[in-house]
Amino acid sequence: MHDHRKLGRELELFDTDPLIGAGLPYWLPAGAAIRHALEEYIREVEQRAGYQHVYSPVLGKRELYEISGHWSHYRDGMYPPMDIGGEQVVLRPSLCPHHALIYRSRGHSYRDLPLRMAELGGMYRSELSGVLGGLTRVRAIQLNDAHIFCTPDQVAEEAAAALGLIKQAYLALGIEPTRYRLSLPGQDGKYVGGQDMWDRAAGLLEQVLVRAGLAYEAEEGEAAFYGPKIDVQIADSAEREASLSTVQVDFYLPERFGLEYVGADGARHRPVMVHRSIIGSAERAAAHLIDVHGGAFPAWLAPVQLVVLPVADAQLPEADALAGRAVEHGLRAVVARPESGSLGARIHASRLVPYQAVIGAREAAGGQAALRLRDGRQVPTLSVAEVLDRIGERVTARSTELWAEGAIDV
Ligand SMILES: [Zn+2]
């Protein structure tokens, strides 16, 4: 494990500036490439799983959060309201109220359900500056969020499907949870609703965990104020635990916002909201990936996926052409030019890049490249077209394996 704060700056993934402020990191091009790949992955996975994407604003009237309960139960985590033309507007502490209103804006029949609404959206948390550091505790958060509006009968299946997406994503990201936590309310009165509501929601989540065959620990005092949740826990290099992904069952917000659907019986019914996040926030996911992989990211996430290494200046035209074709193929590719050092030095400098294509006189003459993998394996010389196809295939598959077959150990 590595310290993402140190490595993130060394690898030029992100940084901060005192003039922007603590807890407000910016993403440099290499870090932005990782985040973009994550966002693209999430949108694809969600689209295939039947989610519809929306965009909603990061501001909302104070009244919105009074209705949602955030104002009375979560105000410590919120920024003070801003007065705009006699109205009070706040930076949103979560996306749920906006999504509830989007649902409410149209009539719904039971045939529309489950309605899965997803957004990679901004939200804001008023963290104290003392706990801020790197990407794990930030004041502006980009959340991979979704809300599934469904009938009570559909809750267990939807929650189980969300857990399945989390499992699939962790495989692609090359990360593992430390444990699953069933987060229940505590005794301190910051939770809404009656005991029946909590028992019912917690029972559903417990059933999902048991059916999925997942070991879990129930913990009081960790629920959201509106409902219990399954938290997928991870640990950083200092063994500090954090929740990355989550699946929550909520009977409360649908009630507060008066959400409805027309049932098969023609009568109006209340839907249930399942809140879920597959990879949590872009910030925390990136921090954990840096921690776990130490900069040697799975190929599909790597800021540079292919480095082309001409042995001498004479092979520069072929090297530039290969990198150009790779970029056209949608890969992130660069040329490490001979002027920047010996071949050995350039290979060393590119040691975190998953694919390293060496072009000497023989390869240049034959339209080929000698491909090395980051782990030291050497692939038999391939044509340039085949190099691009094989790398493209690994990247599209979002595999953590750099090569499928035929790689020879050096
Ligand atoms: Zn939510």
Distance 245 CA to ligand 1 centre (A): 12
Q: Peptide bond before 114: cis, by omega within 30 degrees of 0?
A: yes
**What pLDDT score was predicted for residue 130?**
60
Name the more confident of 410 and 137. 137
Distance 253 CA to ligand 1 centre (A): 9
Distance 265 CA to ligand 1 centre (A): 29
Whether pLDDT at 308 is above 90: yes
- Across the chain, mean pLDDT equals 94
**What pLDDT score was predicted for residue 128?**
77
Distance 115 CA to ligand 1 centre (A): 14
Distance 146 CA to ligand 1 centre (A): 7
**What pLDDT score was predicted for residue 131?**
64
Distance 399 CA to ligand 1 centre (A): 30
**What pLDDT score was predicted for residue 324?**
98
Amino acid making up residue 67 = I
**What pLDDT score was predicted for residue 359?**
97
Quote the pTM value: 0.94
Distance 26 CA to ligand 1 centre (A): 25
Distance 40 CA to ligand 1 centre (A): 21
Q: Find out whether 278 and 269 touch, Cβ atoms under 8 Å.
A: no
Distance 157 CA to ligand 1 centre (A): 18
Mean pLDDT for 216-222 is: 94
Distance 83 CA to ligand 1 centre (A): 26
Name the more confident of 22 and 158. 158
Distance 170 CA to ligand 1 centre (A): 21
Distance 219 CA to ligand 1 centre (A): 20
Helix axes 155-173, 195-211, angle to 10 degrees: 50
Question: Three-class SS of residue 198?
Answer: helix
Distance 96 CA to ligand 1 centre (A): 4
Distance 32 CA to ligand 1 centre (A): 25
Q: Find out whether 120 and 42 touch, Cβ atoms under 8 Å.
A: yes
Distance 84 CA to ligand 1 centre (A): 26
- Kindly list the distances between the CA atom of residue 126 and the CA atoms of 24, 91, 92, in Å, as whole numbers in the listed order: 11, 10, 11
Distance 237 CA to ligand 1 centre (A): 29
**What pLDDT score was predicted for residue 407?**
59
Whether pLDDT at 133 is above 90: no
pLDDT tier at 410 (50, 70, 90 boundaries)?
very low
Q: Give the C-alpha separation, 181 to 246, whole Å.
A: 9
For 239-298, how does the pLDDT look when each residue is reduced to its tens digit (9 = 90+)? 889 999 999 999 999 999 999 999 999 999 999 999 999 999 999 999 999 999 999 999
Mean pLDDT for 328-348 is: 97
Mean pLDDT for 97-101 is: 98
pLDDT tier at 238 (50, 70, 90 boundaries)?
confident
**What pLDDT score was predicted for residue 38?**
98
DSSP collapsed to 3 states, 28-71: CHHHHHHHHHHHHHHHHHHHHCCCEECCCCCEEEHHHHHHHCHH
